[in-house]
Amino acid sequence: MKVCIVSDSHDNRDLLNAAVSEAKALGAVAVVHCGDIVAPSTLRTLRRHGLTVHAIHGNNTGDVFHLTRLGHEADGFVRYYGQDADIELGGRRFFVVHYPHYAHALACTGDWDVVCCGHDHVAEVKRVANMKGGTTIMVNPGTVGGVGAAATYVIADLDSLSFEIREVPPPTVG
């Protein structure tokens, strides 16, 4: 199973859609958004891709009321969790939180296979030694919105536990 991991879209619908479109073409079947969506309408534009979107709000919360309402709509393509999420995708346990220092602490517990974060707009994938004697993969996809850094996202292959940081392709017009 492949998953598109994004963060910090900051309402840049064009770049977010370009990342999700490319990830879907590469085989992604779901999207994980690590926060700083801002306006719920940003996520609504992802409906066209037909993928389930798992999202938290981050520190630029925007309209939490309407994000919550979006998460409860009948078609259910957005799953909105609030400030963090504990989810299972492709048989892997994920924890999603916006802040890297919380993500690192949670990765150290060894309770999750993958811990995702955002906030600092620095794309990075690393293995963190955990208290259970293994490692946890910590993923920060950077900023899909291209805020102060190149627009990036991560394509994750959950079968092989491989993660690739990718630059967002230029959005198509139309």
pLDDT at residue 173, as a whole number: 67
Residue 116 resides in a domain: yes
Query: What residue ranges in the chain does DSSP mark as E strands?
Result: 2-6, 28-33, 52-55, 78-80, 84-89, 92-97, 114-116, 124-129, 135-140, 152-157, 162-167
In sequence order, the 6+-apart residues with CB closer than 8 A to the CB of 102 are: 84, 117
Name the amino acid, one letter, at 30: A
What is the Cα 20 distance to its own chain's centre?
10
Residue 163 resides in a domain: yes
Residue 124 resides in a domain: yes
Classify strands 124-129 and 92-97 as parallel, antiparallel or unpaired.
unpaired
Per-residue confidence at 113, pLDDT binned at 50, 70, 90? Answer: very high
User: Is the pTM above the cut of 0.85?
Assistant: yes
Per-residue pLDDT tens over the stretch 70-104: 788 777 899 999 999 999 999 999 999 999 999 99
pLDDT at residue 64, as a whole number: 79
pLDDT at residue 37, as a whole number: 92
- In the chain, the number of structural domains is 1
Residue 172 resides in a domain: no
Q: Could you list the residue range(s) of the whole structural domain that residue 41 is in?
A: 2-167
The enclosing domain of 156 has a CATH number of 3.60.21.10
Per-residue pLDDT tens over the stretch 15-68: 999 999 999 999 999 999 999 998 888 998 999 999 999 999 888 877 777 778
pLDDT at residue 168, as a whole number: 98
Residue 6 resides in a domain: yes
Q: Stretch 139-159: mean pLDDT, rounded?
A: 97
Residue 76 resides in a domain: yes
User: Is the pLDDT assigned to residue 142 strictly greater than 80?
Assistant: yes
Q: CA torsion 131→153→102→158, rounded to 10°?
A: -30
User: Is the pLDDT assigned to residue 4 strictly greater than 90?
Assistant: yes
